[in-house]
Amino acid sequence: MKRSEYVELKNKIIRRYREDLRALERVWAMAEEGQRNGTEPDDASAPNGQQEALVLIPADGDSLGYGGLINRVRRIVKEMPASSFTAKDVTKAILKREPTLSGVLKEVSISQALKRLRREGELGTKEKGGPYKATIFKRI
């Protein structure tokens, strides 16, 4: 298997997973709506009266939808141990935390998000980059 085939297959699986997750979230929302209207779902509670733990995993709209990337970059930058970093450092930190984004997340997008945060005054520049050198950003 070639790397391009691997990435294509991985992205296909991720898309299918996200579609299934969105469908499950819609079904859950309908079940909750039914409970508010007085109808109970077939299996409303766990055995012995124990509540089931609900684990929410971000669906596609939450992961990299409108504002999702900039918010994720902002959060990661605040948590990074070093006060200066490049777009590559931020990309690695995000992918370490959320490996499912590996086929979706692009370093150039992270770079644009960092530049936007710099324009908005949330970050500064330690060392300006060029065509063959990465810009080093710093927290303010």
Q: Domain 58-140: which topology?
A: Arc Repressor Mutant, subunit A (1.10.10)
Domain ranges of the chain: 1-57, 58-140
Q: What is the pLDDT of residue 115?
A: 95
pLDDT in tens, 10-49: 888 888 888 888 888 888 888 877 776 665 555 444 444 4
β-partners of residue 133 are 130
> Distance between CA 128 and CA 115 in Å, rounded?
11
H helices of 1-139, where? Answer: 3-36, 60-64, 68-79, 87-97, 107-119
Instruction: Decide if 21 contacts 57 (C-beta within 8 A).
Output: yes
Q: Are 63 and 102 in contact (CB under 8 A)?
A: no
Which of helix, strand or coil describes residue 130?
strand
| Per-residue pLDDT, 67 | 76
Q: Count Cα neighbours of 11 within 13 Å in the Cβ-side half-sphere.
A: 10
One-letter amino acid identity for 112? Q
The pLDDT of residue 135 is above 90: yes
Q: How much is the pTM?
A: 0.55
The per-residue pLDDT for 39 is 58
Give pLDDT, residue 99: 84
Return the pLDDT at 47. 46
pLDDT tens readout for residues 57-88:
444 444 566 678 899 999 999 998 889 999 99
The DSSP output letter for 85 is E
